[in-house]
Structure 1
Amino acid sequence: MADNVPALAVTGATGALGGAVARMLAEAGVRQRLLARHTARLPELPNTPVFAASYLDRPQAVSALRGVHTLFMVSAAESPHRVEDHCTFVDAAVDAGVQHIVYTSFMGAAPDAVFTLARDHAATEEYIASSQGLEHTFLRDCLYQDVLPTFVQPDGVMRGPAGEGSFAPVARRDVARTAVKILLSPEQHRNRAYTLTGPAELSMEEVAGILSRATGTPVRYQAETYDEAVASRMKSGAARWQAEAWASSYQAIAAGQLAPASPDIERLTGIAPLGFEDYLQQTRN
């Protein structure tokens, strides 16, 4: 086991990103503890204790975090009260004596970001940075390559108000291995923010073309107005806040807020991130 790494806790390990980070840390022989609301859904890893902890339950989270130096905090599921839940958990971390939070934020996080959920991330970043005694590292991820195939509707069309803008989507596994690199030596990344993207900027038309080649099924992009995008997603059953968030993610592409591609992943890890076509090829093999 790697004994020279400060005591680690990982949240979100029932999900794709947190689970990948937990597995990579285990493979590196790093001691960690996994926190989740539903511990039965956590991956079974050798010598890895699990603790029940909810972002909403401050006393429970304090108990789960006692003795932890560095916390990998995966952002909570999208909801209208996500910032409040994040702040409750950050308060618990401070109460428990956590020294350093590595938080999964979003590219271009700012109070006035076009993408409404990036505003939530900015508020969380500000709260973490202003919490006494806490050091931080913010991982500002672009949209995940992993989810782009789900943007294709049953008729083979991707619709949204992205205009002719471009963005630099990143493979979740590249975010995970970058996070692990930071968690292994958090003191080198104190109070830093990194933008994690893929290697290239793509328009939605280019994404559609790559998906067409990779799947052998025609995919095309069709521009929508913001109002059309919100209406179509609400018709599918989304709440208004969620429909507005999804539509605004496309608007952020149109506004250029999810570009340019960043060198941070390669600079931090020494390995270039996957391009979207390479990612699709690897997932098919």
Structure 2
Amino acid sequence: MTKQTVLITSATGRIGKELVARLGAVGKFNVRACYFSDDKAQSLLSLGAHEVVKFDLSDPATWDQALDSVSAVYSASLDPMLKGHLAFCKELGHRSDQIKHVVRVSCMGADTNTAAYIADQHASRAGAGIPLMLQHYWWGEKALIDEGLNVTALRNNFFMNHLLKTDCETIDREGWFSNPLGYVRNSFVATRDIAEAAAVVLIEGPERHANKFYDLTGPVPQSMSEIAEDLGRAMGKTIEYRAQSMVDFEADFGATRAEFFEYLTNGFYTRCSPDFYNLTGRAPTSYYEYLTTKGASGETGLEELWQGNLWKKGEDAMKDAAKA
């Protein structure tokens, strides 16, 4: 019997690498993993991919080869790549007879905007609409749904591995980090858990998971002082959390990201969802467990902390995407 081919976009990312390793070990699929940089191709084969293919959301010339004979797609993209993703959704729609299932990485609150259905009313930021990043996540889901595809959306809490990446230098040299989240507790989610949920959903297929939307969180909400304690314990040194004003945070990263972080300070991402447990039969990974244990791709969360990061202080990574 010929195995169905699953295409894993963003395969060299945190979730993608874990998913490649998990699906490669199962043996149900022919795993086709996408890479953007040529030097990443071999590592995907080493993780368990059966095929690798160059893929670029901004270059439609790469899509045909990537999608040849594919029946399931894991869809993930960096926030600034929204325009390319929306165009790719139309391509998938043109192949709806071929594409039986799409699993899309999204964000908690993508359809309800967390607080309300009123798009021009932010919960606490006067004169602002709901966070543009949440609108974008919903557009990313809706574009697939509108094409008539069988969609499963994994709506995730804020990623553990993104939480402190912008502070690696001060953590390493001076033992502190800063952001505006303070004592508000958020149930941050491990990217390896998102990959595990994606693997379950793809293996069990659209018959069980089509048109389902799962909120994925960590097992316990944590404040920044508690995050600092876990990180310090994992690193074997004292780590300090230093509070930052939202004004300073916005100056560092721009209004689009600041609007989203202000939602985190409102406590909308505090709750712990049962969806991961219901999918996998186990509790989600805690932050300390994430830092100190290896995922399917062989890296600990602490090792991942020092790897590449989209968000850099002094740069508004969402400046162009905000115009979409």
TM range (shorter): 0.7 to 0.9
For the 8 Å contact 1:167–1:253, the answer to whether it is kept is yes
* Per-residue Cα deviation, 1:153-176 (whole angstroms, up to 9, x for no partner): 514333222243221111111111
Matched, 1:221 2:248: no
> Is it true that 1:158 corresponds to 2:177 in the alignment?
yes
Separation of aligned partners in 2, 1:115 and 1:197? 19
The 1-side partners of 2:135 and 2:176 are apart by 29
Quote how far apart the aligned CAs of 1:129 are: 1.3
The match for 1:48 is 50
Q: Structure 2-normalised TM-score? A: 0.75
Query: Which secondary structure does the structure 2 equivalent of 1:86 belong to?
Result: helix
Q: Report Cα offsets for 1:103-143 as digits up to 9, x if no partner.
A: 011122245475542221111111111113x1100011112
Letter in 1 for 2:11: A
Q: What TM-score comes out, normalization by structure 1 length?
A: 0.85
Q: Which amino acid aligns with 2:156?
A: D
Aligned residues: percent identity?
Answer: 25
Structure 1 counterpart of 2:157, one-letter code: C
Deviation, structure 1 residue 85: 1.0
For residue 70 of structure 1, what is the aligned residue in structure 2?
72
- Tell me which amino acid in the other structure corresponds to 1:117: M
Which residue of the partner structure matches residue 123 of structure 1? Answer: 139
**Deviation for aligned residue 1:151:** 4.8
8 A contact 1:66–1:98 mirrored in 2: no
**SS across alignment from 2:50:** coil
Corresponding position of 2:151: 136
Letter in 2 for 1:275: S
Long gaps (5+) in structure 2: 114-118, 123-129, 294-299, 304-324
Q: Who is 2:321 aligned against?
A: none
- Equivalence for 1:189: 209
Offset of 1:253 from its aligned partner?
Answer: 1.5
* Equivalent position to 1:204, from 206, 224, 230: 224
Say how many residue pairs are matched: 270
Shift of the 44–171 alpha-carbon distance from structure 1 to 2, 3 Å rule, reads same
For 1:103 and 1:54, how far apart are their aligned partners in 2? 17
Taking the TM superposition and a 5 Å limit, the aligned residue runs for 1:159-174 are 159-174=178-193
Contact 2:58–2:84 (CA<8 Å) still a contact in 1?
A: yes
Query: Aligned partners of 2:2 and 2:276: how far apart in 1?
Result: 24
Deviations 1:153-202 (A, max 9, x none): 51433322224322111111111111101111222100011011110011
**Following the alignment from structure 1 to structure 2, what is the Cα–Cα distance between the partners of residues 159 and 254?**
14
CA distance in structure 2 between the aligned counterparts of 1:149 and 1:204, rounded to whole angstroms = 10
- Equivalent in the alignment of 2:279: 268
Which 5+ residue runs of structure 1 have no aligned equivalent? Answer: 234-241
Stretch of structure 1 that moved more, 96-105 or 259-268: 96-105
Partner SS state of residue 58, structure 2: coil
Contact between 2:45 and 2:52, CA under 8 Å: does it hold in 1?
A: no
Query: Residue 127 of structure 2 corresponds to which residue in structure 1?
Result: none
Kept in 2, the 8 Å contact 1:105–1:141? The answer is yes
Look up the match of 1:18.
Answer: 16
8 Å CA contact 1:106–1:141 kept in 2: the answer is yes
Q: CA RMSD in A?
A: 2.4
Counterparts of 1:104 and 1:68, CA distance in 2: 19
The answer to whether the 8 A contact 1:56-1:85 is kept is yes
Moved more, 19-28 or 63-72: 63-72
* Partner residue, 2:116: none
Alpha-carbon separation, structure 1, partners of 2:6 and 2:86: 20
Cα pair distance change 1:218/1:245, threshold 3 Å: farther
SS at match of 2:45: coil
- The residue that corresponds to 1:252 in the other structure is 263
